[in-house]
Amino acid sequence: MPQHGFSEDLPIEEIVQSYTGIDIRNKPLKKILGEMAAEFDRRYSITQPTYAAHSIFYLKTKFDYLVNRVILLYALNENDTSKVESYFWELIEALRKVRESKKPWHDYYLPGTFQK
């Protein structure tokens, strides 16, 4: 079995569904990537510090495989494929930054209103 741990014989729809719980059928690529990025971030956030480096390597390997296989379904050219891959990993980085920030933005209130 390859390093990513998925069977090459199964359709990517089944692999994504079983590994992430995301149904990719009849969805736009951007929506699928957004859901997959959120799932990656969720899994990343619960890795245990003791073996995080090891776990994160395999998590990235698995998601890299899944994203590449999903992109193949959309028959993009090489330039668009690399842009979409970059989009996915940048989205994950943005989700991580928001998750790790104590307060991503200030709470603003209208003057003269009371906070509950």
* C-alpha to C-alpha distance for 84 and 87, rounded to whole angstroms: 5
**107-110-113 Cα angle (round to 5):** 105
Is residue 95 within 8 Å of 38, Cβ to Cβ?
yes
5-28 residues labelled b (16+ CB within 10 A) or e (exposed): ebeeeeebeebbeebbebebeeee
pLDDT at 14: 92
- Domain limits of the chain? 17-100
Instruction: Count Cβ atoms below 10 Å from residue 67 Cβ, excluding itself.
Output: 21
| Predicted pLDDT at 34 | 94
Quick one: pLDDT at residue 1? 41
Amino acid 103: pLDDT: 64
**pLDDT tens series, the chain, 116 aa:** 457 778 888 899 999 999 999 999 999 999 999 999 999 999 998 888 787 788 888 999 999 999 999 999 888 888 889 999 999 999 999 998 888 876 656 666 666 655 55
